[in-house]
Amino acid sequence: MEDLSIILTPGFNGNVWYEKRPENNQLVIFGRSMNQELGIKEAEVSYRLVAPRIDTDKWGNEPDEPVKNPIRVSDFIKKLFN
């Protein structure tokens, strides 16, 4: 859990944060609305969890066979700026 990266985005006007509780294998997400007087009890939070792969030895960074029609980032950059 120490290598886990968390990105939170509130779906409301307010703040969200988290606490890692590895002793209980928990990630607890909290939120606070800027409009507390509305009495909102439920709210939506988008999240992204990222951690290093545990099976990197099994998977390389290149395909076993050549790619016939590769997608190149440079092609998209040329279209954007030309």
Give me 73's structure tokens.
């980032």
Residue 56 pLDDT: 82
pLDDT at 41 over 80: no
pLDDT at 57 over 90: no
* Residues 13-35 pLDDT 10s: 889 999 999 999 999 999 988 87
Does the pTM surpass 0.85? The reply is no
Report how far residue 48's alpha carbon sits from residue 39's, in angstroms, rounded to the nearest whole number. 27
Mean pLDDT of 44-55: 92
C-alpha distances (whole Å) from 69 to each of 49, 62, 66, 72, 80 are 31, 15, 9, 9, 20
Percent of the chain predicted with pLDDT > 70: 94
In the block, tokens 């395909």 appear at 63
